[in-house]
Amino acid sequence: MRINKFIAACGICSRRKAEEYILQGRVKVNGIVISDLYILVNEKVDKICIDNKLVKLEDKKIYLMLNKPKGYITTNSEQFDRKSTLDLIHESERVFPVGRLDMDTEGLLLYTNDGEFANMLIHPRNKIEKRYIVDVNKMVTEQMIKKLENGVDIGGYITMPAKIKKNSDKQIELIICEGKNRQVRKMCEAVSLKVINLKRVQIGQILLGNLKIGKYRSLTKEEIESIKNV
């Protein structure tokens, strides 16, 4: 099995993130730091470590959805000792976030130990839509909506066409299938809007629903299959 696929299957992270770990020199095979993204490994023979910790295949696959509160970071570690969403999840198996929401954003966040599932969610070719409720500081005009729908420059990158629904003068629903860093906020800035409140409420066919803030639950079989069958 290729090394990045093996690491993902161990429930450490997605395949793409595994490649980052390799390029950062954090992965060892049989005690030797590797840099080859295409190396093949066999768990029965090889000893694979990340940050000098042995990694093994996980038998039990876990799929969770969390209603992330504001004030929590999504990353697994933080040098400034800020609150992490992992502090809200209490499972016997290790899980990792699929994508991220910035500290000031709330709403739907998925966690799993299935790297292949995570890869399907984040890979651009699958174009899985994410829906956000966005409250802004001033009236949203039709001209602004047209620009967002057609794609805007968020700093050297033109966004793909978005779907927009206007709920009120200062609130829109925005649907995108990309996941650039702080993309929704930057898109709004590109049309002179400042985000006051941002909440993700849907990923693919998975809905946040009435899950309370700070709580999590397991995904249903139907929700899991809706992603695996894209």
**Contact indicator for 127, 120 with CB cutoff of 8 Å:** no
- How far apart, in Å, are the Cα atoms of 137 and each of 70, 169, 207? 18, 10, 26
Q: Is the domain of 44 the same as that of 151?
A: no
Q: How much is the average pLDDT of 69-75? A: 91
In order, the DSSP letters of 64-109 are: EEEEEPTT-B-SS--TT---BGGGG---SS--EEES---TT-EEEE
Q: Which domain holds residue 30?
A: 3-54
Q: What total of structural domains would you count in the chain?
A: 3
**What pLDDT, on a 0 to 100 scale, did the predictor assign at position 141?**
97
Question: Could you list the active site residues?
Answer: 102
Q: Is the domain of 19 the same as that of 73?
A: no
The span from the first CA to the last CA of the chain, in angstroms, equals 24
Range of 53-57, 80-84, 91-95, 224-228 with top mean pLDDT: 224-228
Q: Is the domain of 83 the same as that of 50?
A: no
Q: Is the domain of 138 the same as that of 120?
A: no
Q: Is the domain of 146 the same as that of 183?
A: yes
pLDDT by residue (tens digit) across 104-127? Answer: 999 999 999 888 898 889 888 889
**What pLDDT, on a 0 to 100 scale, did the predictor assign at position 79?**
57
Q: Is the domain of 7 the same as that of 35?
A: yes
**Contact indicator for 106, 198 with CB cutoff of 8 Å:** yes
Q: What is the CATH number of the domain that holds 32?
A: 3.10.290.10
Q: Is the domain of 215 the same as that of 120?
A: yes
Across the chain, where does the E strand assignment appear? 27-29, 32-33, 48-50, 53-54, 63-68, 96-98, 106-112, 130-136, 163-168, 171-176, 195-203, 206-207, 216-218
